[in-house]
Amino acid sequence: MPSIEDELFPSTPGKFKIDRSNRQLHRCFASTSTMFLWALFLIALTASYLSFQSFVDSGSRYLTASWGGIQWEKQVRTSAQIHRSGGISVLVTGATGFVGSHVSLALRKRGDGVVGLDNFNNYYDPSLKRARRSLLSSRGIFVVEGDLNDAKLLAKLFDVVAFTHVMHLAAQAGVRYAMENPQSYVHSNIAGLVNLLETCKSANPQPAIVWASSSSVYGLNEKVPFSESDRTDQPASLYAATKKAGEEITHTYNHIYGLAITGLRFFTVYGPWGRPDMAYFSFTRNILQGKPITIYRGKNRVDLARDFTFIDDIVKGCLGSLDSSGKSTGSGGKKRGSAPFRIFNLGNTSPVTVPILVDILEKHLKVKAKRNFVEMPGNGDVPFTHANISSARNEFGYKPTTDLETGLKKFVRWYLSYYGYNTKAKLVH
């Protein structure tokens, strides 16, 4: 088969008839034409190469992208399938986080469709999040690796699945870390929230949204127990300020676009598969390693107290909120009528001081702690929290049933198992 060169240029001399009287002119013309054709050929070859390279690069990006493609869409649809009558299809953000993983498993267990979304950031050891994802995967839950601020990803997810609900648990957590990396709180807790709401407002149908606010919004409030009607305009940390901003932002989207939105103010959640940055978790690690633990005290050496709430009780509150969320009334970004806007406390209603928490850990670990008492620094922490849960109880029957003694026993059993002691770690629901 002739090559491109053969097609364009004759290989046998004499195929061009040249008038002898104009030989020099024709030679010059032939030489110029040949150079011109070669130039065209090189330009065409270069253009073809660049076009092919662009195709290869695009294909490479497509193949290596963490989302997109036929197989990816199939995984998303399969995970979102509902397996019970009257079930719901839920997008869970922060699905490999502490609360997110538990809520995802509980939804799947009762037959709801669940698709997870998580960016696997390194605020704490991502290997724990990967382990949670493996657990979710074993139950048929697909977790998309991506960021809330990726508008194209969110739009694609809603294009593939008509989610009935969003359980928004993704956030930059932690009170003290805000002093080190404040931008991360704005990026996740404000910009990420707005991006999610923008996607939800434009979805057709619009999903109902339940999201995690925080008990931190009560800030310097001294009235106890904390009630949803109490003032929340004195945040003590940037984290609290971003959560308070989230409550105002969600109210705006409810008012303008008809999104049904429920905010949940969690009170110091603890339990198996918890966050390593939480006090009970780090205390356990240091006690087992023989290292001292730092226990903060308030003014006049008053012990700090927290309304510790076991993860299973929080999960019940999340599911109850989803089931009673009501429906969004907008369509394609336009409000058709008023929609529910609610905020609830989810706590245990029984504050316990930190020294007593350490006593319980010592009992279950069978190791004495090396306690180092320090005056609480001005880093955003508050001296106590105490939830009034009457609104959640009246609205969807929320009733915590796990006391701190029982909950910490379950946590210690998981911790010893997960970090290489006796049996394989399990997440029980």
Q: Which residues are catalytic?
A: 239
Token pair 């606010």: residue: 213
Closest C-alpha among 388, 266, 355 to residue 318: 266
Q: How far apart are CA 287 and CA 281, in angstroms?
A: 10
Token pair, residue 246, equals 């989230």
The Cα 173–Cα 167 span in angstroms is 16
Is 203 strand, coil or helix?
Answer: coil
Give the Cα-Cα-Cα angle 203, 209, 210 (nearest 5 degrees). 165
410 alpha-carbon distance from chain centroid? 25
Q: For residue 334, what are the contacts with CB-CB under 8 A and spacing of at least 6?
A: 257, 258
Per-position DSSP letters for 98-117, written without gaps between them: HHHHHHHHHHHHTT-EEEEE
- Extended beta strands in 179-246, E state: 208-212
* Dist CA 161 CA 104 (whole Å): 17
Distance CA 6, CA 79 (A): 57
Per the document, the length of the chain is 429
Write the burial class of residue 62 (CB in 10 Å: 0-12 exposed, 13-18 middle, 19+ buried): exposed
Q: How is residue 18 written in tokens? A: 């040249």
Q: In the structure encoding, which two tokens stand for residue 147, read together?
A: 């960021």
- Tokens 């434009």 belong to 202
Which residues does residue 373 pair with via DSSP β-bridges, in sequence order?
295
